Amino acid sequence: MKKVVVCGPYNAGKTSFVRNVNRHEFLGTEEPELDLVSLKEIGTTTTVGVEVNFLKYAGKEVMFVGVPGQRRFDFIWEVVGGRFNGILFLIPSFSNLREAKFYVDLFSQFDSYKDALKLLVVTYPQKMDEHKLFVFKSLGLPVRLLDPTDEESVRKLAEEVASKI
Ligand SMILES: Nc1nc2c(ncn2[C@@H]2O[C@H](COP(=O)(O)OP(=O)(O)OP(=O)(O)O)[C@@H](O)[C@H]2O)c(=O)[nH]1
Ligand SMILES: [Mg+2]
């Protein structure tokens, strides 16, 4: 079984991505978000654990592992980071280089990183512009633009990843 880590900042679309890899097999860990002052639910959800999905493609079985984006869950990143064959950095187009670099620096410390398939997946593609693309390309990773809520494009990218690892 091959493993692909899906990481990135809060609200980047990681859960949407992992869910759309294979809608029948998704195991999620989302919880309602609270307003920290009133402690009332604000109608959105956030990931509080590891979420997984499985894809069989090109004779391979691939597990996609989404990790929570909020930094208070960073201990999970360490546990999941142990061994992986691929890593997808999901970065919203309105995010900045520093944010993207934080995740690249963090996961590049693991031994698996060197030989892993690496992709910078820029989400919210409709808000992307040429300058931002240039900035993100400076990280030296292949860049893809993708809306993780679009099932078909997620599936296509997941199959491409599966065929390359
Ligand atoms: N229009 C649009 N909406 C998006 C895109 N990516 C994510 N979203 C929306 O952003 C919200 C958050 O997406 P999630 O998939 O929960 O993000 P996440 O990275 O798992 O967030 P955390 O687990 O809280 O870190 C959802 O309402 C998504 O539908 C995108 O590319 N375009
Ligand atoms: Mg999530």
Q: What is the pTM of this model?
A: 0.93
What CATH number has the domain bearing residue 24? 3.40.50.300
Ligand 1 atom 3: the closest Cα is on which residue?
Answer: 124
Hey, is 7 helix, strand or coil? strand
Number of the ligand closest to the Cα of 70: 1
Q: How confident is the prediction along the chain (165 residues), in pLDDT tens digits per residue?
A: 999 999 999 999 999 999 999 988 888 788 888 888 888 888 888 887 889 999 999 899 999 999 887 778 888 887 777 789 999 999 999 999 999 999 999 899 899 999 999 999 999 999 898 999 999 999 999 999 999 999 999 999 999 999 999
What residues make up the domain containing 35? 2-164
Single out the residue of 98, 90, 94 nearest to residue 68, CA to CA. 90
Whats the size of the chain, residue-wise? 165
Q: Count how many domains the chain has.
A: 1
